[in-house]
Amino acid sequence: MPNTDMTMEASLKDLSGYYQTIPMAQAMQLEVVGFAGDRLRMRAPLAPNINDKGCAFGGSLTSLLTIAGWSLATLELARAGFEADVFVADSTIRYLAPLYDDLEVEAWLAEDESWEGFIGMFRQRGKARCQIHARAGLPQGGDATTLQGRFVALARQAKP
Amino acid sequence: MPNTDMTMEASLKDLSGYYQTIPMAQAMQLEVVGFAGDRLRMRAPLAPNINDKGCAFGGSLTSLLTIAGWSLATLELARAGFEADVFVADSTIRYLAPLYDDLEVEAWLAEDESWEGFIGMFRQRGKARCQIHARAGLPQGGDATTLQGRFVALARQAKP
């Protein structure tokens, strides 16, 4: 796990504290699994995220995918020494197959972008955007749901 | 409110029962407001749907917009006498402005489609899809978040 160092461990703990301030994140019982290569993995149990058909509720899938993307951008900024406000600007979600199991998702930077470019832009302008992809996997392989989202980071304004 | 008749009232009650089978819908405390013209309105209080910044959590907004679209398609099928399984196939969401107030959303059929066409297709083939738009409004006017989603209705298979 080349991306996991002590700074990253601390940032992952910060994130867990952050999720606890969001009632819906708590209700979903989501948690960070860690990095697999450059992909951030998160999960949530099926039981609190189930729908009437016995599979994962679409709102939970979308929420978890979006939070995974948001967390990835936030962690990359933290790794570079920045605290920033990160927002999701837009996203496209495809629900490909029902998921009758725990929600396991991963998020990664779009292939044609680089964290160096994103961080460089943020350092220069106090603002940067990136495109993140995320997927919820099926236990037998393949995708249950995919997300492509644009995230924006803004430098925190100094408090007066 | 030309769309509200006794069948529709009964269907709205069915929907409320349906939401109670979904833990996240309960946690969001969402409810159907009713129809305003051809638009289905739903809402949820801010408190259980808040994020760390004190505004509406993106996952809650997306969930409520998606559920409003799903509910609209389900109600139109019920009005035509059909019980169907309705799924969201894909959606595009734009987060335009933070919402520091209760979540109030409305969903409607895309302007270039008709419920007659959707229901006719469903009657003929046991399957139909429609494009639904939805928005979460800001108290001062304008949009906080918008969604465009494609929903698919499938005839329920008779149980063996």
Nearest residue, CB atoms, A62 vs list B23, B47, B62: B62
Nearest residue, CB atoms, B51 vs list A22, A90, A95: A22
Q: Where are the domains of chain B?
A: 8-155
ipTM for this model: 0.89
Cα A119 from Cα A97, distance rounded (Å): 35
Tell me which residue has tokens 């998702």: A105
Burial of residue A80, with CB atoms counted within 10 A of its CB: 0-12 exposed, 13-18 middle, 19 or more buried: middle
pLDDT at A3: 46
- Rg (C-alpha) for chain A, rounded Å, is 16
Name chain B contacts of A90, Cβ cutoff 8 Å: 92-95
Report yes or no: A140 and A111 within 8 Å, Cβ to Cβ: no
Contacts of A42 (CB under 8 A, 6+ apart): A30, A31, A32, A33, A64, A67, A68, A71, A104, A105, A106, A107
pLDDT tens digits in sequence order for chain A, 160 residues long? 444 466 777 787 788 888 889 999 999 999 999 999 999 999 999 999 999 889 999 999 999 999 999 999 999 999 999 989 999 999 999 999 999 999 999 999 999 999 999 999 999 999 999 999 999 999 999 999 999 999 999 998 765 5
Name chain B contacts of A87, Cβ cutoff 8 Å: 95
Contacts of B23 (CB under 8 A, 6+ apart): A27, A47, A48, A49, A50, A57
Nearest-neighbour CA in chain B from A135: distance (Å) = 14
pLDDT at B13: 79
- Is B145 touching A (CB cutoff 8 A)? no
Residue B8: closest CA among B104, B64, B74, B106: B74
From the options 1.10.1040.10, 3.60.15.10, 3.40.50.1580, 3.10.129.10, give the CATH code of B8-155: 3.10.129.10
pLDDT at B6: 65
Question: Are the Cβ atoms of A24 and B27 closer than 8 angstroms?
Answer: yes
Low pLDDT (below 50) residues in chain B:
1-4
Nearest residue, CB atoms, A66 vs list B21, B27, B59: B59
Question: Are the Cβ atoms of A24 and B49 closer than 8 angstroms?
Answer: yes
- Is A50 touching B (CB cutoff 8 A)? yes
pLDDT in tens, B75-122: 999 999 998 999 999 999 999 999 999 999 999 999 999 999 999 999
A·B CB contacts under 8 A: 103
pLDDT at A154: 96
Nearest-neighbour CA in chain A from B131: distance (Å) = 14
pLDDT at B3: 46
Q: Which residue of A has its CA nearest to B20?
A: A52
